[in-house]
Homo-oligomer: A and B are copies of this chain.
Amino acid sequence: MSESPVPHEPPIYRRIADGLRARILSGELRDGDRLPGENALMAEHAIARATARQALAVLINEGLAVPKRGSGVYVRLFKPIRRHGSRRLSREQWGQGRSIWDADTRGRTFSVDRVEVTLERAGEEVAAVLESGQVWVRRRRYCVDSRPVQLATSYFPAHLVEGSAITLPDTGPGGVYARLGDLGIPPAHFTEEVRARMPGPRESALLDLPGGTPVMVISRTAYTSGGVPVELNEMVLDSAAYVLQYDFDA
C-alpha cells in the first residue's frame, strides 16, 4: 500500500524499555531503586552498549528514571503535572481568589522560590509585544514535591501596573490576574506559543535537569477584552515533569 513501508516491530531498545517501564509501573521497581546497568542489560539481552544506553535513555526521557553521575540510573517516580491550558486560565479560577497553579497541583506540595521583582527597560521583543519601553518584571521558580519544575518571567507594562501589588513580591489573593482586575484591566484573552529546545546551562542548573532533557518554552500573552496586552509570561518547563493539555471545540 506504500512504496516505503515503515516497520512496525518495535526495535530491541524499545522492547527493553517497555519491560523496565512495566516493572516500574507495576511497583516491582520502586522510587529510588537502581535500574539494571548497561553491563547487566548487555549481558541479559546480548546487545551492544549503545542499545542498552538507548533503552535507559527512553525511561530517562519519559521522566521515569534519572541518571546519577558514576553510579547508574535510578527510578524516579514523579507524576507529570497536567497543565490544563484553557481550564486553568478560566475566569472561574482567578476570579475567586484562587491562584492559577492550584488547578495543576491538587494534592501535591507546591512552592515558589527565587522570587525577584524589578523595574527594567524592556528588551526589543518584550517592548514590541507589550507596546511599552518600561516593564515590571517578576521572576520566580516553581517547585512541586520539592522538585524544581518551572522558571517563569512575567513582564507587565510599567505605566499600567505602577503602584499595584504586581510590583511587590507578594501579589495577594488571586495573584497578578486578580490585581489586573482591580486595576480595571482584567485579562480576557490568552495566546500561548509553545516550543521545545535544549536548556541553557543556567536553566539546567536551576531546574536540576539530567543531561539530555529538553525544556518546553511557553510564551503567554494576556490581553484585555479591548485587545490591550497586559502581560507577557515566558515559562521554561522541565519537559519530563509536564504534560500540556489544550481543549477546544471544532
Name A198's contact: one of B4, B195, B212 (CB within 8 Å): B212
A10→B44 CA distance, assembly (Å): 48
Residues of B within 8 A of A186 (CB): 250
Q: What is the copy number of this chain in the assembly? A: 2
Q: A139-B6, A239-B214 are in contact. Are A248 and B114 (CB under 8 A)?
A: no
A122 to chain B, nearest CB (A): 13
> Which residues of A147-206 are within 8 A (CB) of B?
169, 186-198, 200-202, 206
The chain B residue sitting closest to A63, CB to CB, is B197
Q: Is A247 an interface residue (CB 8 A)?
A: yes
Q: A54-B201, A91-B250 are in contact. Are A215 and B196 (CB under 8 A)?
A: yes
Q: Which of A31-39, A68-76, A82-90, A102-110 lies on the face that meets chain B?
A: A82-90
* Most chain B C-beta atoms within 10 Å of own C-beta, residue among A186, A194, A243, A245: A194
Interface residues on A, range: 35 or more
* Most chain B C-beta atoms within 10 Å of own C-beta, residue among A94, A200, A245: A200
Q: Is A2 an interface residue (CB 8 A)?
A: yes
* Most chain B C-beta atoms within 10 Å of own C-beta, residue among A54, A90, A243, A250: A250
Q: Lowest 6 CB-CB distances: which A-B pairs, in order?
A: A214-B214, A196-B196, A196-B239, A194-B244, A61-B197, A2-B116
Which residue numbers of A lie inside 8 Å of B, CB to CB?
A: 1-2, 4-6, 8, 11, 13-14, 54, 57-58, 61-62, 85-86, 89-91, 94, 113-118, 120, 139, 169, 186-198, 200-202, 206, 212, 214-216, 239-240, 242-250
Q: List 26 A-B contacts (CB under 8 A).
A: A1-B115, A1-B116, A2-B117, A2-B169, A4-B113, A8-B120, A11-B200, A11-B201, A54-B200, A54-B201, A57-B198, A61-B197, A85-B246, A89-B248, A89-B250, A90-B250, A188-B249, A189-B250, A190-B247, A193-B245, A194-B194, A195-B244, A196-B196, A196-B215, A197-B240, A246-B246
